Amino acid sequence: MPTYDYKCPDCGIQKEIFHGIKETPTISCTCGSEMKKMVSKNVSFVLKGADWSGKNIKEKGYRLRRRKEIGKKMVENHNIPQIQPNYKGEVCNSWKEAEQLAKADGADINTYQKQVSALETQQNKIKEKVEKLKKGEE
């Protein structure tokens, strides 16, 4: 049977009472007033079953380590595509050169610069991801 804590609202006396879950007893204090049930702070119970967290921790750890190893091998064995500076499919030595080609072609440079900035950001993210994979961090 569970233990319930009761407290008197008038004098502050506390008692622990054992009774069934479905029972709702009326507990009287020594001062004569009715005691109120308190929310217990010492609740300790264990959730069991395959769906609760904490289950199969060793297996989860193994899977995470294995995923890191696979990521490392993929980076080492495969070429990660790199974004090369280009304008309309024509590969250039630098983004400045590609920008000059766009300017000579009459393209809006502001729009082109935004695209280049987005591509450089994407390339930096790819490089960071590759470095983390090589170190085994992801």
- Tell me the whole-structure pTM to 2 decimals: 0.37
CB 85 within 8 A of CB 94: yes
Tell me, yes or no, whether 74 lies in a domain.
no
Tell me, yes or no, whether 138 lies in a domain.
yes
Q: What is the pLDDT along the chain (138 residues), one digit of tens a residue?
A: 678 889 999 888 988 888 888 888 888 898 889 999 887 666 666 666 666 666 667 777 788 888 888 877 777 777 666 677 777 777 888 878 888 888 888 877 777 778 778 888 888 888 888 888 777 776
- Number of domains making up the chain: 2
Tell me, yes or no, whether 65 lies in a domain.
no
For residues 83 and 137, state if they share a domain: yes
Tell me, yes or no, whether 113 lies in a domain.
yes
Which residue in the block uniquely carries the two structure tokens 């590609």?
Answer: 98
d(CA 133, CA 75): 7
Show the domain range for 89: 79-138
Tell me, yes or no, whether 115 lies in a domain.
yes
Tell me, yes or no, whether 98 lies in a domain.
yes
For residues 34 and 83, state if they share a domain: no
Tell me, yes or no, whether 69 lies in a domain.
no
Say if residue 128 is exposed, middle or buried (CB neighbours under 10 Å; 0-12, 13-18, 19+): exposed
